[in-house]
């Protein structure tokens, strides 16, 4: 039961984090996470709702992972606009049926951006994990691949726990930190032309519905 409560609090924190984590003087998100971890689940959810994210733009940083040049891509958080009855509505529902999810799953963030050709692209950040896992797995489901008429799901190891059995090890990049998540997308996942980098292979794909 304790693991279940921790999981609920953690996923609520990821889903509803935004402006609080975006402040430059918040240097350690784990302080807030630890507070929520020892808080009643309903109260933690209320605290999370009070921190609901606002739409914002993530500018491409100067550097990430040692690369010399950053893509000229700007992301906008549109999660609130895609949420109905406290659930994010996917633009690519067929894709999620084509790969395995754990017993707990939800879309935690949705971003869009305009590629250099002026085409709108969308990235859904999908979390899944078992009840006993403190940290879970992250996938990006997006139409930013080479074939713009197809949406693909990409497993993102840097944002996922490396402990696939117990989920006890934190990921390299914290997906609940919206700024770091956006930074990873624009520099670690996307090319300068808005396409997915060649090192990422989709685990499932489906046509984009008109």
What pTM was computed for the model? 0.69
pLDDT at 59: 43
What is the predicted pLDDT for the residue at 136?
A: 96
Closest CA to 143 of 95, 84, 184: 95
Q: Which residue positions in the chain have pLDDT lower than 50?
A: 1-71
Say how far apart CA 136 and CA 40 lie, in whole Å: 21
Q: What share of the chain is helix, strand, coil (3-state, %, to 5)?
A: 30, 25, 50
Nearest-angstrom CA–CA distance, 171 and 134 = 11
Q: How far is CA 108 from CA 10, 97, 119, 137, in A?
A: 11, 17, 24, 12
Least Cα distance to 152 among 199, 99, 113 occurs for 99
Distance of CA 162 to the CA centre of its chain: 17
Distances, alpha carbon 170 to alpha carbons 18, 138, 163, in Å: 20, 12, 8
Residue pair 140/112 in contact by the 8 Å Cβ criterion:
no
Q: Report pLDDT digits (tens) over 82-101.
A: 999 999 999 999 999 999 99
Q: Tell the residue number behind the tokens 């997006």, with chain if given.
A: 142
Residue 154 contacts residue 200 (beta carbons within 8 Å): yes
**Residues near 129 by Cβ (< 8 Å), separated by ≥ 6?**
7, 102, 104, 105, 135, 136, 137, 161, 167
CA pair distance 96, 87, nearest whole angstrom:
15
Beta strands in the chain (DSSP E): 57-58, 75-77, 83-84, 87-88, 104-114, 120-129, 137-142, 150-155, 202-207
**pLDDT tens digit string along 147-185?**
889 999 999 999 999 999 999 999 999 999 999 999 999
What pLDDT does 147 receive?
86
Nearest to 184 by CA among 209, 158, 164, 162: 158
pLDDT at 154: 98
């Amino acid at each position: 039961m304790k693991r279940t409560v921790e999981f609920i609090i953690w996923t609520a924190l990821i889903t509803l984090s935004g402006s609080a984590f975006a402040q430059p003087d918040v240097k350690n998100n784990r302080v807030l996470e630890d507070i929520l971890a020892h808080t009643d689940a309903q109260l933690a959810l209320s605290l999370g709702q009070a921190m609901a994210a606002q739409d914002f733009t993530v500018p491409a940083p100067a550097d990430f992972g040692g690369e010399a040049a950053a893509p000229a891509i700007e992301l906008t958080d549109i999660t609130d606009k895609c949420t109905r009855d406290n659930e994010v509505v996917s633009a690519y529902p067929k894709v999620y049926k084509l790969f395995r999810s754990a017993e707990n799953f939800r879309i935690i963030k949705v971003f869009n951006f305009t590629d250099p050709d002026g085409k709108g692209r969308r990235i859904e950040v999908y979390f899944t994990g078992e009840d006993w896992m403190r940290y879970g797995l992250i996938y990006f489901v997006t139409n930013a691949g080479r074939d713009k008429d197809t949406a693909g799901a990409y497993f993102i190891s840097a944002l996922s726990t490396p402990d696939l059995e117990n989920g006890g090890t934190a990921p390299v990049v914290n997906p609940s930190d919206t700024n770091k998540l956006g930074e990873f997308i624009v520099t670690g996942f996307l090319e300068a032309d808005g396409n997915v980098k060649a090192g990422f292979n989709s685990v499932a794909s489906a046509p984009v519905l008109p």
